[in-house]
Chain A
Amino acid sequence: MTVEIRPRIKGYSFLLEETDPALVFTPEDFTDEHRQFIRTTREFVDQEIEPIREELEKLDRDLLKNTLKKAGEAGLFMIEVPEQYGGLGLDLISQMVVIENLGGSGGFAVAYGVQIGIGSEPILFFGNDEQKQRYLPRLASGEIIGAYGLTEPGSGSDALAARTSAALSEDGKHYILNGSKVFISNGGIADLYTVFGKVNGEHFTAFLIERGAPGFSIGAEEDKMGIKSSSTTTLTFQDVKVPVENVLGEIGKGHKIALNILNLGRIKLGVGVGGGIKQALGRAVRYGIQRKQFNTRLVDFPLIRQKIAGMVARAYASESMGYRTSGDIDEAIRAAGAHGEPTLDRQLATLEELSGECAINKVFDSECLDWVVDEAVQIHGGYGFIAEYKVEAGYRDARISRIYEGTNEINRLFISGNLFKRAMTGRLPLIGAVQKIQAAVLSPLEPYDGAGKPLADVAEAIFNAKRLYLFVGGVIAQRFMPDMDRISKEQEALAWMADMVIHIYALESAYLRAVKRIEAGDPPAESHADAVRYQMLDSTAVIEQSARTLLEGYFADDSLKTNLAVLRKFAKWPHVNRVELGRKLAKAAVEAEGYPFEVVS
């Protein structure tokens, strides 16, 4: 399968080159339809979810199903489904604006995400025409609810080690399924389940199973820490007869489905989480405006302002990154389809190409969310610990995001492992770039030419961060090359290198968006610049600390000293006054009574 992908859309290429801000999609580029989708989604939340939030939290399956039906009536499930199957056939950005604006709705957001994600995508991408005709129109309208069964009691991160078995019946008409699944979102309310099992205990395969099939039973609801309004159950299969027409994709190719769906799941989760970040930020700011202590509004205390500034910077970076990646995916799919409809193989190749970026979004966003909900509780003080205040649920709801769609640990290993694999096979010209850096360390440093660029100081920091990554990644990889197996056992090295990559991408995405604003001459461009610089303080600190820890972990004595000297050479960041910058950035959020870069009222 060879697919031509434009250079900027090559996965991880951001580490090796500069990106033209004009080619990056940002929220300011939303079309009229995107804006209307956002308004409808917010109306839906205000009218259909908020008034019954407490009841939903008690997990009333009928109420949840009924609310999902209403989402279906509003067309919220139709976005990515092709028109011929009852959908709107729109792109990923159109889907993302809805996901983001439902992102603060706790368990309902999860139920929604399952329906449009793992509940529909396996059929959307891998179903044959008959399967698509049979299920997609009803999934798109909300008439039926979807779920996805991959995880088993004994196989979570190691998903391909599933033990659910499938055996062809004697008459060749059915597969007989036996086994069980755990932590199945929408488990208790779904009508259609995509379930993975091994044919003859060997060939990993996906099956479509309808509720009510004899031998298929649904367990009790799990009592979860958060996202309580979503349904999570076990599934048990005891000699369940699945018609052979319900095999999804090919026998033995189930891993292709599972892995590709994960990429989309990660970027969608990231953008949804971004909605949660903005919501927690808004609640914290609004509470801080009305709550006074020592006759002063909380938001007027500098320490509270610094917390708010940290929230704004994270929200900004997360949002900029999510829409950048989504826009790149859309662009790549469009480019792949330039000579006709994008074929399935092309779409999947595109998603695989950007799988590293999808994982980066997932890790960064879910960890930002945890930080933000934590500080939102802190700003609420004792009230934040009381269930009556919504930040309490937000705090609990956030925690799962670091666990599902691949734990953040698995995602970190993937980010670096995947990158190394591409470097080794020559898919990404990383080795040449590393050699160039290594040749340069002995001579005086090539200065960064930022003349005439907006935010040149940030551009230089990003440039240096990339050089630092290539240097550290290079010297560590060389210790293990060419034995890829050895480096895959060095989990600390992979994870800490991933931290550098994550922060380079996050900071650069925020930077590109701000430059776009400055070049467009928008009045709030200065606030955009403030958000980027605040994020730069945190990102460069993580990048430098990770580099140091890596070198200290893998080198000693003279070689450590030499390498640390090189680190100091690259780790040059502009001086920023966090005291002033934080107060100023927070002021913008206080004036906006929430996230100051909201593009739709």
Chain B
Amino acid sequence: MKIVVLMKQTFTTEARIELDGSGKPNDSKVKKVVNPYDEFAVEEAIQLVERKVAEKVTVVCLGPASAEEALRQCLAMGADEAVRVDSAGLEEADSSVVASVLAGAVKSMGYDLLLAGYVAVDDNAAQVAVRVAELLDIPQINVVSKLEVANGTATGWREADGRTEVLEVPLPALVTADKSLNKPRYPTLPNIMKAKKKPLEIKAPADFGINPPASKTRVVKYELPPPKSGAKIFKGTPAEAAAALVKALREEAKVV
């Protein structure tokens, strides 16, 4: 069984984003990592190989040359091979474009199971993976906290409104990871060295016969969140404080 993991390189969650002169997030100043949710997907894929459910893990990423550092990390964790689809000319592409490129790529690469994080921590769109499944016309289970794969089916557990849903789909299928799925390993030093020798291919969309469509959305403007205003502490007896709070909510914040 062959697993393909869709991976995105993102900002770290601690990164402090600044806008550059043209009003776009300044890429050069922030450190980048494997999208943490994709890391769960990579870990799950490696565990499936370790449990002898799958034979091979390929990680694919649409991104610039700098994304290879993230791919190397996935290889050092234990993935077998990596493919970077070059994003030249697609820097502004929206989720629909990214999904069509990735769908085309995995289609020509071949797969039995697609894994991905359910969301990327930079744009929080949660679009690409589900769109890939739709484009490939395969079933999907999203935001899973537990996954079992056996006998040509994938069974996923997902938390929903205080209950757990268990979904079973036939393979090939796509499954997206929630953060409770597993605890990603850190690469050991010998595996970091071995990863240097693992294949990392660089492709253009055209290599998969893909002609990327135009974006369906357009970013009008980026804005940084407003600076936090300080907290307000209401003093006095609990009754007085509660009364003052209600008054402030009504008159100052105008929310009640």
Chain B residue numbers with a CB within 8 Å of A88 are 189-190, 193
Chain A residue numbers with a CB within 8 Å of B76 are 36
Chain A residue numbers with a CB within 8 Å of B186 are 39-40, 43-44, 47, 74
> Closest CB-CB distance, A100 to chain B, in whole Å?
15
B87 at the interface (CB under 8 A from A): no
B139 at the interface (CB under 8 A from A): no
Secondary structure of the B side of the interface?
A: mixed
CB pair A36–B31 under 8 Å, yes or no, is no
Q: Select B192's contact among A36, A523, A600, beta carbons within 8 Å.
A: A36
State the CA gap A44–B189 with chains docked (Å): 11
Per-residue CB proximity of B17-38 to A under 8 Å, as 1/0? Answer: 0000000000011011100000
> Closest CB-CB distance, A449 to chain B, in whole Å?
36
Chain A residue numbers with a CB within 8 Å of B187 are 36, 39-40
A601 at the interface (CB under 8 A from B): yes
List the B residue with the shortest CB-CB distance to A598.
Answer: B31
> Provided the pairs A88-B193, A601-B33 are in contact, do residues A36 and B188 lie with their beta carbons within 8 angstroms?
no
Interface size on B, residues (CB 8 A): 20
Chain A residue numbers with a CB within 8 Å of B15 are 601
B12 at the interface (CB under 8 A from A): yes
CB pair B189–A78 under 8 Å, yes or no, is yes
CB pair B189–A76 under 8 Å, yes or no, is yes
CB pair A36–B190 under 8 Å, yes or no, is no
Chain B residue numbers with a CB within 8 Å of A33 are 192-193, 196
State the CA gap A74–B189 with chains docked (Å): 6
Chain B residue numbers with a CB within 8 Å of A76 are 189
> Closest CB-CB distance, B19 to chain A, in whole Å?
16
State the CA gap A188–B241 with chains docked (Å): 59
List the B residue with the shortest CB-CB distance to A77.
Answer: B189
Chain B residue numbers with a CB within 8 Å of A36 are 72-73, 76, 187, 192
Which residues of A (497-523) have their CB < 8 Å from a CB of B?
523
State the CA gap A33–B196 with chains docked (Å): 9
- For B28, B72, B188, B189, the residue with the greatest tally of chain A CB atoms inside 10 Å of its CB is B189
B69 at the interface (CB under 8 A from A): yes
CB pair B73–A75 under 8 Å, yes or no, is no
List the B residue with the shortest CB-CB distance to A79.
Answer: B189
CB pair B31–A601 under 8 Å, yes or no, is yes
CB pair B189–A601 under 8 Å, yes or no, is no
A37 at the interface (CB under 8 A from B): yes
Which residues of A (18-49) have their CB < 8 Å from a CB of B?
32-33, 35-37, 39-40, 43-44, 47
A54 at the interface (CB under 8 A from B): no
List the A residue with the shortest CB-CB distance to B185.
Answer: A43
> Closest CB-CB distance, A60 to chain B, in whole Å?
24
State the CA gap A47–B186 with chains docked (Å): 9
Chain A residue numbers with a CB within 8 Å of B188 are 40, 73-75
Chain A residue numbers with a CB within 8 Å of B32 are 601
> Closest CB-CB distance, B28 to chain A, in whole Å?
8
> Provided the pairs A32-B69, A32-B72, A43-B186 are in contact, do residues A37 and B192 lie with their beta carbons within 8 angstroms?
yes
State the CA gap A43–B72 with chains docked (Å): 17
List the A residue with the shortest CB-CB distance to B16.
Answer: A591
List the A residue with the shortest CB-CB distance to B184.
Answer: A43
> Closest CB-CB distance, A281 to chain B, in whole Å?
17
State the CA gap A601–B21 with chains docked (Å): 24
> Closest CB-CB distance, B48 to chain A, in whole Å?
21
State the CA gap A44–B28 with chains docked (Å): 27
Chain B residue numbers with a CB within 8 Å of A75 are 188-191
State the CA gap A523–B73 with chains docked (Å): 27
List the B residue with the shortest CB-CB distance to A31.
Answer: B196
Chain B residue numbers with a CB within 8 Å of A523 are 28-29
> Closest CB-CB distance, B26 to chain A, in whole Å?
11
> Closest CB-CB distance, B188 to chain A, in whole Å?
4
Which residues of B (179-234) have their CB < 8 Å from a CB of A?
186-193, 196
> Closest CB-CB distance, A115 to chain B, in whole Å?
14
> Closest CB-CB distance, A361 to chain B, in whole Å?
24
List the A residue with the shortest CB-CB distance to B189.
Answer: A75
Chain B residue numbers with a CB within 8 Å of A74 are 186, 188-189
State the CA gap A600–B69 with chains docked (Å): 12
CB pair A601–B12 under 8 Å, yes or no, is yes
CB pair B72–A37 under 8 Å, yes or no, is no
Per-residue CB proximity of B155-191 to A under 8 Å, as 1/0? Answer: 0000000000000000000000000000000111111
List the B residue with the shortest CB-CB distance to A90.
Answer: B193
> Closest CB-CB distance, A88 to chain B, in whole Å?
6
Chain A residue numbers with a CB within 8 Å of B69 are 32, 35
State the CA gap A39–B195 with chains docked (Å): 15
List the B residue with the shortest CB-CB distance to A599.
Answer: B31
Chain A residue numbers with a CB within 8 Å of B33 are 601
Chain A residue numbers with a CB within 8 Å of B72 are 32, 36
State the CA gap A40–B12 with chains docked (Å): 16
List the B residue with the shortest CB-CB distance to A601.
Answer: B31
State the CA gap A44–B188 with chains docked (Å): 10
State the CA gap A78–B189 with chains docked (Å): 8
State the CA gap A33–B73 with chains docked (Å): 10
Chain A residue numbers with a CB within 8 Å of B29 are 523
State the CA gap A6–B89 with chains docked (Å): 48
> Closest CB-CB distance, A116 to chain B, in whole Å?
12
Per-residue CB proximity of B126-162 to A under 8 Å, as 1/0? Answer: 0000000000000000000000000000000000000
> Closest CB-CB distance, B135 to chain A, in whole Å?
33
Chain B residue numbers with a CB within 8 Å of A601 are 12, 15, 31-33
State the CA gap A321–B15 with chains docked (Å): 29
State the CA gap A76–B196 with chains docked (Å): 18
> Closest CB-CB distance, B57 to chain A, in whole Å?
18
State the CA gap A90–B196 with chains docked (Å): 14
Chain B residue numbers with a CB within 8 Å of A90 are 193
Chain A residue numbers with a CB within 8 Å of B191 are 75
> Closest CB-CB distance, B31 to chain A, in whole Å?
3
> Closest CB-CB distance, A136 to chain B, in whole Å?
15
Chain A residue numbers with a CB within 8 Å of B192 are 33, 36-37, 40
State the CA gap A37–B73 with chains docked (Å): 11
State the CA gap A47–B184 with chains docked (Å): 11
List the A residue with the shortest CB-CB distance to B76.
Answer: A36
- For B31, B73, B192, the residue with the greatest tally of chain A CB atoms inside 10 Å of its CB is B192
Chain A residue numbers with a CB within 8 Å of B28 are 523
> Closest CB-CB distance, B68 to chain A, in whole Å?
9
List the B residue with the shortest CB-CB distance to A40.
Answer: B186
List the B residue with the shortest CB-CB distance to A34.
Answer: B192
State the CA gap A516–B156 with chains docked (Å): 53
State the CA gap A73–B188 with chains docked (Å): 7
Instruction: Give 17 new A-B contacts, CB below 8 A, not counting A75-B188, A601-B12.
Output: A32-B72, A33-B193, A36-B72, A36-B73, A36-B187, A37-B189, A39-B73, A39-B187, A44-B186, A73-B188, A74-B189, A75-B189, A75-B191, A76-B189, A79-B189, A88-B189, A601-B31
5 contacts between A and B (CB under 8 A): A73-B188, A74-B188, A74-B189, A90-B193, A601-B33
> Interface of A with B (CB < 8 Å)?
32-33, 35-37, 39-40, 43-44, 47, 73-76, 78-79, 88, 90, 98, 523, 600-601
> Interface of B with A (CB < 8 Å)?
12, 15, 28-29, 31-33, 69, 72-73, 76, 186-193, 196
- Top 7 nearest A-B pairs by Cβ distance? A601-B31, A75-B189, A43-B186, A75-B188, A36-B192, A75-B190, A40-B186
